[in-house]
Amino acid sequence: MGAKILVVDDEQGIRDLLSLELGNREYQVATAANGEEALKKISQEKFHLVISDIKMPRMGGLEMLDAIKKADPDIEVIMSTGYGTIETAVSAMKMGAYDFIQKPFNLDEILALTEKALEKNDLKTILGIYETSKAIFSSVKLETLLPIMAEVSIRVLKADDASIMLLNGDGKLKVAASMGLTDDDRAQARLALGERVAGKAAESGKPLIITGPLEQDARFSDVESLRDIRSSIVFPLLLEGQVMGILNINRTSKTDSFGPCDLRHATILGSQIAQAVHNAKLYAELEKKIVEIQQMQAQLVQTEKLAAVGQLAAGVAHEINNPLTGILGFTEIMLQNDGLSAEQREDLESILHQSRRCRKIVQNLLQFSRRRKPKNEPIRLGEILDPTLQLVQYDFRSANISLKTHIPEDLPLLCVDSSQLEQVFLNLVTNARQALEGRKDGAVFINAAQKDGRVVIRFEDNGPGIAPENLDKIFDPFFTTKPVGKGTGLGLSISYGIIQEHKGSIHCESRLGAGTAFIIELPARTEQAP
Amino acid sequence: MSGAKKILVVEDEAVIRSICRRILAPLKHDAVFASGIREAAEKIDSSHRFDLLITDMRLPDGDGLEAISLFRERNARAAILIMTGSPNPGARADRLQEAGLDEKDILAKPFEIKDFESLVRRKLEEAE
């Protein structure tokens, strides 16, 4: 369907002529004899273009133009005049007319102008929207998206600078992207502007045009670097009634102020930006959830692994214990014989030693399979950690390894099975001790902190670190890199199981050559808990 | 300790029975051996009185706790010592408690001779 054009002229002849000619070219044409009549028609239906005489009875062209631009800035207006001076034409252009044409006009000229005006009317907004939409789909990362949006805002609104400010977690406005601002001072000043009017804009949910110079405005007179602003739009970025931030667009060099037409375009841009921010936030949340699910999955796999090995271990352990009782018992009985040669005694001692080693392995296996429900005693972390460290203190000192702890006084109580946790802590410090074997500057640092209702305990050493390819295997049962006889590969699996039973988590951060840290998180005791 | 004591050992593995016999012999106690519940019942019926029962938990014809209750019918004041290679003492804590026993009455297999000896000595002293 063709565009709708309103022809306004007090001369019947011109109205008829243009109606006929434009109508022949697929346009829908309506007519009015003066400004008043024209405004009435515009209020009733949407027109894309008005071709109007300047001098008319009742309401003249300029007065009408002003009213049209206020009512619907997207309507293009071509003024025609038979006697007009350049001054009248210029003031018409200033008021937002698309162009003007002198009477008596050449029909071809007016048709060409009509076509161009309609094209512009359409393209102008579509282009801006197209650019922003394109940007929205180009990325879900705000770091990429927002600068593009700011740039498009400048272009569409013929502005000199644009900033997008977003509310962060604690409700403070922060500049997320800005364009056209070379120095930081000016960017910060835009933030001050945003902060000062954000509340107001947010409250009304409506955009704000501030016409400069700003030093005369009491709200901004104290901000030095805002003085260059001649005209400013502050647009609240809303989504479902919630303010997410502010789009601020400024003109500093151009003399003309932002008008209602610009505000409309800012509205379109603003809603697109708000949507993009919302999308990006949703995407980030989704990403976080995926990571959570992956972690949970990994944890489940680990738990399954532990359970399967535990079951197997329990069965094997019982089968081995009886024959081992025989070996150990008879070896001891033989050793009670006084008539043994030194060599025989030595050999028997060796059997004894090896069977004890077997027994230790079986015991570890059993402990592993024993998924005892932990007790829940309220206790201070220090009460568990201190006795554990006392056990290794002598060994650390004689190996010249420094052992430092930092436990804040106000650390909340834990609600745990202290003997099980002692076992975990002992396992971690023993591992660290073994990793630091033979080093001159070996150090182990244990510190604790509270975070979101949890107690975080970090065991850190400056040992050789864990090879990246081993990092995801260290909690697997029987995985060990220690020399034969030095470890069964169950310590960390058992620790993992214990921490999990306590509804906590344990993970490892390590870099080759830099050291290793094990981080345990346990729920802090809540006030309501007994 | 007043003189030789009478001890019943219930254990299905011949090797372990034999070890027990070797450990107990120098202590000069009167040890009687059974390889299961049925045999234990026979020994309990045919003897006057025992001072101590040492029993395995897993037996081919039942479980150690059955042996204990049979034993107690005739030897109410005797001491009990459980000898086991079973992995999970925690899981049967309730049943032990019902029998008036706890973790301290358990000797884990494989054991060292000195642990066996000292536990037997303690048990016999308790039973006096």
Residue A123 pLDDT greater than 90, yes or no: no
Residues in chain A with CB shorter than 8 Å from the CB of B17 are none
The partner residues of A454 in beta bridges, in order of sequence, read A451, A523
Residues 197-236 of A with CB under 8 A from B: none
Single-letter amino acid code for the residue at A44 = Q
Q: What is the pLDDT of residues A365-384, one digit of tens each?
A: 777 666 667 778 899 999 99
Per-residue pLDDT at A318:
76
Give Rg (Cα) of chain A.
40
- In this prediction, residues B26-30 reach a mean pLDDT of 89
Q: How far apart are CA A157 and CA A235, in angstroms?
A: 13
Q: What is the pLDDT of residues A157-201, one digit of tens each?
A: 878 888 888 887 777 888 888 888 877 777 777 777 777 776 676
Closest chain B residue by Cα to residue A357: B110
Closest chain B residue by Cα to residue A329: B19
B2 part of contact set with chain A, CB < 8 Å = no
Residue A128 pLDDT greater than 70, yes or no: no
CA angle (A99, A102, A105) in 5-degree steps: 110
Provide the edge-to-edge strand list for the sheet that holds A402-406.
A402-406, A443-451, A454-461, A515-523, A505-511
Number of H helices, E strands in chain B: 5, 7
Give the percent of chain A with pLDDT over 90.
26
Q: Residue A431: in which H helix or E strand, if any?
A: helix A418-435
Residues in chain B with CB shorter than 8 Å from the CB of A417 are none
Output the CA–CA distances (angstroms, integers) from residue A19 to A51, A457, A465, in the order listed: 11, 84, 86
What is the CB neighbour count within 10 angstroms for residue A165?
27
Q: Residue B82: in which H helix or E strand, if any?
A: strand B79-84
Q: How far apart are CA A60 and CA A63, in angstroms?
A: 6
* A95-104, A211-220, A293-302: the lowest-pLDDT one: A211-220
Encoded tokens for B116 = 């066996």
**In sequence order, what are the residues at sequence separation of 6 or more whose Cβ sits closer than 8 angstroms to the Cβ of residue A200?**
A208
B23 part of contact set with chain A, CB < 8 Å = yes
Residues in chain B with CB shorter than 8 Å from the CB of A323 are 15
Residues in chain A with CB shorter than 8 Å from the CB of B110 are 321, 324-325, 327-329, 355, 359
Distance from CA of A490 to the nearest CA of B (A): 16
Residues in chain B with CB shorter than 8 Å from the CB of A355 are 110
Residue A338 pLDDT greater than 50, yes or no: yes
Encoded tokens for A513 = 């050559």
Output the CA–CA distances (angstroms, integers) from residue A137 to A127, A142, A157, A279, B68, in the order listed: 15, 12, 22, 10, 78
Q: The complex's ipTM?
A: 0.87
B72 part of contact set with chain A, CB < 8 Å = no
The partner residues of A242 in beta bridges, in order of sequence, read A239
CA angle (A44, A21, A60) in 5-degree steps: 50
The partner residues of B32 in beta bridges, in order of sequence, read B8
What string of H, E and C letters represents the secondary structure of A354-392? Answer: HHHHHHHHHHHHHHHHCCCCCCCEEECHHHHHHHHHHHH
A327 part of contact set with chain B, CB < 8 Å = yes
Q: How far apart are CA A157 and CA A150, in angstroms?
A: 11
Single-letter amino acid code for the residue at A388 = T
Q: Among B79, B105, B80, B110, which residue's Cα sits nearest to residue B92?
A: B105
Greatest CA span in chain B, whole angstroms? Answer: 38
3-state class (DSSP) for residue A331 = helix
Encoded tokens for B84 = 């086991």
Per-residue pLDDT at B62:
87
Give the percent of chain A with pLDDT over 70.
88
Distance from CA of B14 to the nearest CA of A (A): 9
**Where are the alpha helices (H) located in chain B, listed in sequence order?**
14-24, 37-46, 64-74, 93-98, 113-127
Per the listing, tokens 């006096």 go with B128
* A135-139, A257-261, A433-437, B118-122: the lowest-pLDDT one: A135-139
Q: What is the pLDDT of residues A430-465, one digit of tens each?
A: 999 999 988 888 999 999 999 988 999 999 999 999
B13 part of contact set with chain A, CB < 8 Å = yes
* Binary contact (A329, B113; C-beta < 8 A): yes
* Binary contact (B22, A333; C-beta < 8 A): yes
B94 part of contact set with chain A, CB < 8 Å = no
B86 part of contact set with chain A, CB < 8 Å = yes
A372 part of contact set with chain B, CB < 8 Å = yes
Mutate to test the interface with A, among B12, B23, B24, B88 (most CBs of A within 10 A): B88
CA atoms within 13 A on the CB side of A381: 26
3-state class (DSSP) for residue A99 = strand
| pTM assigned to the model | 0.48
Q: What is the pLDDT of residues A29-76, one digit of tens each?
A: 999 999 999 999 988 887 889 999 888 888 888 889 999 888 877 788
C-alpha torsion sign, points A208, A213, A218, A219: positive
